[in-house]
Structures are given as structure tokens and as C-alpha cells.
Amino acid sequence: MKPLAVSMGDPAGIGLELAARVWAERQGAPPFFFVGDPDALSRASARLGLAAPKFHVISDPAKLGADAGTFNVLHVPLAMEETPGEPDPVNADATIGAIEQATAAARAGHACGVVTLPIAKSVLHTADFGFPGHTEFIAHLTKDDAWPQARGPVMMLAGPTLKVALATIHTPLAQVPASLTRARVIDVGRIVGEALRRDFGIVAPRIGVCGLNPHAGEDGHIGREEIDIINPAIASLRAEGWAIADAKSADALFHDAARATYDAVIALYHDQGLIPIKTLHFWDAVNVTLGLPIVRTSPDHGTGFDIAGQGKARADSFRAALAMAWSMAEQRARA
């Protein structure tokens, strides 16, 4: 298989040092190349006290070098030298360009998938980045590519004992109930079920769903979304053959015994799903985009500006993101 493409992320965050560290300690990691600025990567290596990597810098992903001791870099230069912990919108175009070029490399078959290092959305918004995050941006970049299954994007965070998918992603809390239509819940259920089969090799996936209201609405006494929208959508999914249970109280769906009843659970809004997974698996969960024609994963954490450049950032989640993207690409190659 071709290597993975790793996009640089915000150069003021911890992404550069994660790439530098994992390259230096790459034994056991899947092959990957970097999409970004090689000088920034050298500076990150130096800050960690690591030897400067030997680079093969290219502007065409078809020209990746084959020497395992050389770090391939698809060149996306920064506009200005980074200052760890101090993001600057002047580098936003390079941050966005790295995501575009990594995605283009995967679409063209030069990479088996994309692993994105973290971006700060607020910084990119100042540069007119019109997307809530990578998830929607990469879906946009791949929207014209053939995809025979239900098309995402759906955000999933996947850890060793929990996979949680989101029915709404970066939606302001006040807008969540109106965003939860039957059609949306049905789409998300299909995308999650197909991804569990295709990308995770689970032949007969079992899916759980969180209620929106306390106690999943208590039979309509404290909210009717479960009765009017969520459970009818779930019934439609069951009629299609999916093993998906009616919405249950979200507060009781994440303990050990509850997690044993499903392969993935659909949470209805960002923090409902991300609080439990980041509590259980902050160090080793992976953010994965479901329903895309290309494989895309990311560490579960953000830019870590408060610790950037200090050598404190743990690389476990980035390593897990590389491993998961590689495994998904293998699954797709076998299909």
C-alpha cells in the first residue's frame, strides 16, 4: 500500500512536534509522509533535542522517495516562522493548503489515507475558512468522487473500548434539537453501520443511540424528541435490517456493561459523545470521518497551544490515528 499523508496542522500547535517525534521513533508505525514545511519540522525536531531528519522534499506526491531512512515531505511552505503557542493567521493559508494537498494525494492514489494534525478553527476562520473543521472541509474536497455507499461526513471518535459517532457535530447547543430530523438520524445510522462493516470489519454491527432529553424523555413527560423523531428513525433503520436499539438514557449508556451492548453508539450532540470518550480514552482515541471516499483520521485532541514547543505533548493519539488509518485502508483494499 502507499504511505499515509500527514497534514501539518496549525504550526503553532503541538502537531509539528508529534510528527517529528513519531518519525524519529517510527519503528512499528505505518509508513507516512508529511505535508507541510520541512524547515518547521526541523525546528520542531531541534526543540525536542532530536537529530534533524533527512528530508526528501517534493512538490509532486507522485515523486515520493523510497528510502526508508528519508522523511518524504510534500512541500507547503509557511508564510512566517512559527512561534509555538502563538497561532498567527498569516500561516492559515499554509495550514489549509496542507489539508488540501494531503487530500489531493489520497484522491490521486499516492497516499492510502490522510491523517490530519490539529488545527484551530478560530484561527482559520479569520482567513475565511468557511468550514467548521476538517470533517466538513475534506467532505467538500471529495464531494465529486464516486462513493457507492451512504455519503458522510459523520464524525466518530474511536477508542479501544468505545466508538461514539455524532448526529450533530459543531452545532451550537441551542440549535441541536432543530437539527435532529428523522432524515438526519436515518442517514447517520446508515453511515455508521456501513462504516463499522467496511472500515472496522464488524460483520453484524450493533448500534446504540443516546436520548436527547433526561431519561430519554421519560415517555414524553420531559421531552418528545425521542417519541416524535429519534425512535421512528431508529424503527426505519431496523426495518432496513440494522441492529439498532431505541434511544436510551445517555447518562447510563457509557458504563462498562452498557458499552458491551453495542459496537458504536450515536450521540446526538458534540459534548454528549465527546465527554465520555475523552474521559475514557483521551490518550488513545482517534477522530475518524465516516462515509468519505478516502480514509481520514486525526488524533482526538486539539492544538495544545498551552504546551506547544515544550516537549510535553504525548504522541499516543497520533500514533493511534496512524494505525487506525492504515488498518482502514487495508480493510478497503481487501474489499
Ligand X SMILES: N[C@H](C(=O)O)[C@H](O)COP(=O)(O)O
Report whether 91 belongs to an annotated binding site: no
User: Considering the rule CB under 6 A, would residue 304 count as an interface residue with ligand X?
Assistant: no
Is 301 marked as binding a ligand? no
| Residue 133 is a binding residue for ligand X (CB under 6 A) | yes
Q: Is the dihedral of CA 166, 279, 222, 206 positive or negative?
A: positive
Candidate segments 43-51, 129-137, 211-219, 237-245, binder of ligand X by CB under 6 A: 129-137
**Is position 298 an interface residue for ligand X (rule: CB under 6 A)?**
yes
Residue list 258-277, contact with ligand X (CB under 6 A): 274
Looking at the Cβ atoms of 253 and 274, the one nearer to ligand X is: 274
Is 103 a binding residue for ligand X by CB under 6 A? The answer is: no
Residue 134 in contact with ligand X, rule: CB under 6 A: yes
Binding partner of 122, given ligand NAD, ligand X, none, CB within 5-8 angstroms per partner class? ligand NAD
Q: Residue 264: in which H helix or E strand, if any?
A: strand 264-267
Q: By Cβ distance, which residue is nearest to ligand X? A: 133
- The verdict on whether residue 296 carries a ligand-binding annotation is yes
The distance of closest approach from Cβ of residue 246 to ligand X in the complex, given in angstroms and rounded to an integer, is 26
Task: Look at the block and give the residue holding cell 488540501.
Answer: 100
* Residues near ligand NAD, by CB under 6 A: 14, 118-122, 134, 287, 298, 301-304, 306-307, 312-314
Distance CA 131, CA 103 (A): 15
Q: What is the 3-state secondary structure (H, E, C) of 189-218?
A: HHHHHHHHHHCCCCCCCEEEEECCCHHHHC
Residue 72 near which of ligand X, ligand NAD, none (CB within 5-8 Å, type-dependent) = none
- Tell me if 221 is assigned to a ligand binding site: no
List of long-range contacts for 67-75, beta carbons under 8 Å, 24+ apart: 68/31, 71/23, 71/33, 71/34, 71/41, 72/3, 72/33, 72/34, 73/33, 73/34, 73/35, 73/36, 73/38, 73/41, 74/5, 74/33, 74/34, 74/35, 74/36, 74/101, 74/102, 74/105, 75/37, 75/38
> Closest separation between CB of residue 134 and ligand X, Å?
4
Query: Which residue number, 55 or 283, has a Cβ lying nearer to ligand NAD?
Result: 283
91 is a site residue for ligand X (CB under 6 A):
no
Residue 300's contacts (CB-CB under 8 Å, 6 or more residues apart) are 157, 159, 277, 278, 281, 282, 285, 286, 287, 317
Please report, in range form, the residues annotated as the binding site for substrate: 134-135, 278, 287, 296
Q: Which residues contribute to the annotated binding site?
A: 134-135, 170, 215, 270, 278, 287, 296
Instruction: Kindly list the residues in this chain that would bind ligand X in the complex (CB under 6 A).
Output: 133-135, 274, 287, 298, 300
